[in-house]
Structures are given as C-alpha cells and as structure tokens.
C-alpha cells in the first residue's frame, strides 16, 4: 500500500481522491493500445490460416429437361507464412515492447503525479 493511502484518514481530501480513478482514462487507454499493438506484432511470427465453406442447392426446371435438384458444396483452406529472414518482424516486436514499457512508465508517472500533491 502506498504511504499516501495509509494516511488517508488524516486528510479530508483523500477520500474524494480515492473515490475517483488514480490515472486518467487517456493514460490507461494508451497503455491498453500499446498492449494490443504488442500482441499484434507478436502474431506476425506465426502462420496465417483461413478457412471457408459454402453450400448451394439448385432446383432444375422441368422446362429445361432436368427437373432435378442439384447440390454444390465447396470448402477451402489457406495457410501462409513468411520467414523473418531480415529480422523485420523481430524488430517490430522489440519496438512494440519498448512502446508498451514506455506506456506503462507513463501510466505510473501519471499515478505518481496525481498522488504527489496530497503528501
């Protein structure tokens, strides 16, 4: 527990401050964004896989001569992967990690700045 919270009962301002969030929403949003970007950068290391399927039923008309019902089903699977020969993916992961750490430090600085005037 931070020292300023331990002395909350001595300060008439502290209950109001603890009632609101310690960090502004914008600082927390930047941290969440940096975290999502780091996860997305890390996903580039793995293969991409996609799949699709479709089915269609058609009734032939008696006028054309067939009068039969036909069914057409299809499925597709696609996988791709690009090797990180020149280290571009690795560098983007490192950059995203650095952004995440900077954002975490900024969030902590915001919390400290909000708590500092209360001491």
| Domain regions of the chain by residue span | 20-118
Tokens of 76: 């597709």
> Is pLDDT at 53 greater than 60 in this prediction?
yes
Measuring CA to CA, how many Å separate 98 from each of 80, 103, 104, 105?
28, 8, 10, 11
Q: Select the more confidently predicted residue: 86 or 113.
A: 86
Lowest-confidence pick of 7-16, 27-36, 70-79: 7-16
How many CB atoms within 10 Å of residue 41?
A: 20
Burial of 84 (0-12, 13-18, 19+ CB in 10 A): middle
> Is pLDDT at 26 greater than 90 in this prediction?
no
Tokens of 92: 């983007």
Q: What is the pLDDT of residue 76?
A: 94
> Is pLDDT at 44 greater than 90 in this prediction?
no
Whole-angstrom Cα distance, residue 103 to residue 59? 60
Whole-angstrom Cα distance, residue 49 to residue 98? 28
Mean pLDDT calculated for residue range 57-77: 78
Whole-angstrom Cα distance, residue 69 to residue 89? 51
> Is pLDDT at 3 greater than 70 in this prediction?
no
Say if residues 6 and 19 touch (Cβ distance below 8 Å).
no
pLDDT, averaged across the chain: 77
Contacts of 1 (CB under 8 A, 6+ apart): none
pTM for this predicted structure: 0.54
Whole-angstrom Cα distance, residue 108 to residue 110? 5
Q: What is the pLDDT of residue 50?
A: 94
Q: Residue for token digits 């560098």? A: 91
Q: Select the more confidently predicted residue: 90 or 118.
A: 90
> Is pLDDT at 67 greater than 90 in this prediction?
no
Over pLDDT 90: what percentage of the chain? 23
């Amino acid at each position: 527990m931070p020292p300023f919270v331990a002395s909350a009962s001595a300060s008439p301002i502290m209950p109001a401050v603890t009632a609101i969030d310690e960090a502004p929403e914008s600082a927390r949003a930047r941290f969440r964004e940096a975290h999502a970007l780091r996860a997305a950068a890390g996903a580039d290391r793995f293969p991409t896989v996609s799949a699709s399927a479709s089915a269609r039923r058609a009734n032939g008309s008696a006028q054309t001569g067939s009068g039969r019902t036909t069914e057409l089903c299809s499925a597709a699977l696609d996988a791709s992967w690009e090797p990180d020969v020149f280290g571009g993916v690795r560098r983007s992961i490192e950059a995203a990690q650095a952004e995440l750490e900077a954002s975490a430090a900024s969030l902590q600085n915001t919390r400290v700045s909000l708590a500092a005037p209360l001491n």
